[in-house]
Amino acid sequence: MKKIIYILLLSWSIVTFAQSNVKVIENQFLDYNQLIVKKDFSKALDQYAHEGFLKFVPKETMVLIFDKMFNDPNMKFSLEVPTILKVEEYPQKIQNVSYAKIFYSQKMSVELADVVNAKDAEEKQKNINLYLGAFKSQFGDGNVVFNEKNNQFEVMSYKMAVANSNEGKNWKFTVAEKQQVELLKQFLPEEILTDLK
């Protein structure tokens, strides 16, 4: 009887630890994204960017990229905080680092000056079709619509991010996209990137 109770308690503590670790990852990932949505890029990168990524693209450059993207006069761009679909912890540490994959969806809205300021209805429709095709090829056919009411493209993207932590408390995040695999392999273990192939 004691063995059964011991096994149950051990199983419960393992499950509880795993769930709390996932919760920490989720909370920090959402905080990171909330900082991006609020345009506090410097703080987001200081707290949550993977150091390996910042060796290739320094923080100052990333802040400039974010600033340009969010403040481009030809494009109004807004993101919503993502919805986490699933977190998969990697079962063992790799070189003393814990990893997890975060699968999430995120809505964004894009208003383009080429559409809003088109000289006539024909040019506007031509520009809508052009951008709609480009967005659909990047995000998938069913994930992009043009909202006539507010002249915005509404995009739903489905992505994966990699979380890593040395001690399991402070997590760093890297959005992992297929076209960046070679760069990501420079600082992330290849086995973590299998979903991108």
- Is residue 92 scored above 70 in pLDDT? yes
Q: What is the pLDDT of residues 95-110, one digit of tens each?
A: 999 999 999 999 999 9
Residue type, 158: Y
SS3 of residue 10 by DSSP: helix
- Is residue 179 scored above 60 in pLDDT? yes
Domain count, the chain: 1
pLDDT of residue 20: 67
DSSP annotation string for 82-120: PEEEEEEE-SS-BTTBEEEEEEEEEEEEEEEHHHHT-SS
**Domain assignment present for 43:** yes
Q: Choose among 169, 170, 134, 172: nearest CA to 153.
A: 134
**Domain assignment present for 197:** no
**Domain assignment present for 31:** yes
Q: Which residues span the domain enclosing 23?
A: 2-192
pLDDT of residue 197: 57
**Are the C-beta atoms of residues 166 and 140 closer than 8 Å to each other?**
no
**Are the C-beta atoms of residues 42 and 63 closer than 8 Å to each other?**
yes
CA 120 to chain CA centroid, nearest Å: 37
pLDDT of residue 18: 44
Q: What is the pLDDT of residues 16-74, one digit of tens each?
A: 344 568 999 999 999 999 999 999 999 999 999 999 999 999 999 999 999 999 999 99
CA 96 to chain CA centroid, nearest Å: 24
Residue type, 106: Q
pLDDT of residue 196: 78
CATH number at residue 70: 3.10.450
Please state, in angstroms and rounded to a whole number, the distance separating the CA atoms of residues 45 and 29. 12
Q: What is the pLDDT of residues 129-162, one digit of tens each?
A: 999 999 999 999 999 999 999 999 999 999 999 9
**Domain assignment present for 28:** yes
pLDDT of residue 172: 98
Q: Choose among 161, 87, 182: nearest CA to 197.
A: 182
